Amino acid sequence: MQQVKSGDTVKVHYHGKLTDGTTFDSSAGREPLEFEVGSGMVIKGFDDGVTGMSVGDKKTVSIPVDDAYGPKQDEMLVEFPINQFPPDLKPEVGMPLTMTTSQGQPVQVVIIEVGEETVILDANHPLAGQELVFDLELVEIVGAKSLIIMP
């Protein structure tokens, strides 16, 4: 039976949970996730989890923080002046916002503190600092990445 290795394109059904059992994502009711193993398309722990599986295999993997989205980083906390918000927006703790970097890239942030003159924005990935648990089912090995050699 063929086993998944780096470079294979696979289709996987998954159920992602926090260690307290809270679901944060699932492929239930959707097409399975398709990705190339080892390409960086998914977190390292997910890649490692499917490696070695055969079609039809099911397993649960625990992914430590460093193989998931990493630890929360203090440098991803940003102090932002309240007077820079649009006048019709009242900042509240827990409010998600999309900011734009100086290079024009969108960044998702969450307000974690509201002060008199500033708010603190958290630009860490929402799952940073979390150990993750995935129930995995390998649906298909689509194939290995192939090279086309032109004469």
Q: What is the pLDDT of residue 144?
A: 56
User: For 71-84, what is the mean pLDDT?
Assistant: 94
pLDDT single digits (tens) 9-31: 999 999 999 999 999 999 999 99
Question: Which class would CATH give 74-122?
Answer: mainly beta
pTM tops 0.85:
no
Please give the full DSSP string across the chain, using - where no structure is assigned.
Answer: -----TTEEEEEEEEEEETTS-EEEE-TTSPPEEEETTTTSS-HHHHHHHTT--TT-EEEEEE-GGGTT----GGGEEEEEGGGS-TT----TT-EEEEE-TTS-EEEEEEEEE-SSEEEEE-S-TTTT--EEEEEEEEEEEEE--PPPP-
Domain ranges of the chain: 8-70+127-144, 74-122
Q: What is the pLDDT of residue 118?
A: 96
Q: What is the pLDDT of residue 150?
A: 57
Asked if the domains 8-70+127-144 and 74-122 are classified in one and the same CATH topology, the answer is no
CATH of 8-70+127-144, one of 2.60.40.420, 3.10.20.30, 3.10.50.40, 1.10.150.20: 3.10.50.40
